[in-house]
Amino acid sequence: MTLLLADLGVTKSHGRPHVSNDNPYSESHFKTLKYSPEFPDRFGSLQDARSFLLDFFQWYNTMHHHSGLGLLTPWDVHHGLAETRLAEREAALRRAFAATPERFVRGVPQPPALPPAVWINKPGLADAVAPSTLPLPGETSSADPVARRARGAPEGVAQRARRAGSGGAEPPVAVGQPAKEVYTKF
């Protein structure tokens, strides 16, 4: 299993307790869940846990303002309401500044910017192999799938994707792009 994961580009994590550097989105989500005032010490049953989590996810996605999304909710961003919400927020900040400018020592406040794209694992330049950088016929390199197979190493999904020309990188999720409906079974 370790070889399969390594072949797919998944690396082992040796995270330490209280260090949230593995997946910041998951860690942030878990902390929000864990420190929610409504989070119980214990659940009475599996159905109680499911009921609590359904309500929590509804709140988290529709009412909780995320700092990584310019203090907007995922609902606003994925349903195309981000620009409207940011314009409303900017107008409110301007009205507040006009009413009491002495409270704003740095001038007119600006709402946080919306990021252009959100990634879980953004591929680096070295990760994305362009077709023009693949070795010519007769040349071999450690990234060459033919050479890997000749050495006995299995070709994985990432290598097949690179050979097909997609670079093996997943596309970014554009902010403001309609989201697919995803349902999670508990």
Count of beta carbons in the 10 Å neighbourhood of residue 29? 16
Confidence of residue 56 (pLDDT cuts 50, 70, 90): very high
Mean per-residue pLDDT for 145-174? Answer: 51
Q: What integer pLDDT is reported at residue 170 of this predicted model?
A: 47
pLDDT higher than 60, residue 21: no
Mean per-residue pLDDT for 23-43? Answer: 85
Average pLDDT along the chain: 74
pLDDT in tens, 28-37: 888 899 999 9
Mean per-residue pLDDT for 42-57? Answer: 92
Residue 67 or residue 179, greater confidence = 67
Count of beta carbons in the 10 Å neighbourhood of residue 77? 22
Residue 163 or residue 40, greater confidence = 40
The whole-angstrom separation of Cα 47 and Cα 35 is 21
Cα distances from 35 to residues 28, 39, 57, 98, in angstroms, run: 11, 7, 14, 37
Mean per-residue pLDDT for 69-86? Answer: 93
Q: What integer pLDDT is reported at residue 153 of this predicted model?
A: 47
Tokens for 57? 């996810």
pLDDT higher than 50, residue 132: no
- The full set of domain ranges for the chain reads 70-114, 119-124+142-171
Q: Look up tokens 């020592």; give the residue.
A: 105
pLDDT higher than 80, residue 139: no
Residue 144 or residue 104, greater confidence = 104
Q: For residue 28, is it left (φ>0), alpha (ψ between -120 and 50) or beta?
A: alpha
Cα distances from 115 to residues 24, 32, 77, 82, 172, in angstroms, run: 16, 21, 10, 11, 12
Count of beta carbons in the 10 Å neighbourhood of residue 72? 22
Mean per-residue pLDDT for 136-164? Answer: 51
Q: What integer pLDDT is reported at residue 134 of this predicted model?
A: 47
Mean per-residue pLDDT for 103-125? Answer: 83
Residue 37 or residue 6, greater confidence = 37
Phi, psi of 66 (to 5 degrees): -95, 130
Confidence of residue 175 (pLDDT cuts 50, 70, 90): low
- For 108, how many CA atoms within 13 A lie in the half-sphere containing its CB? 9
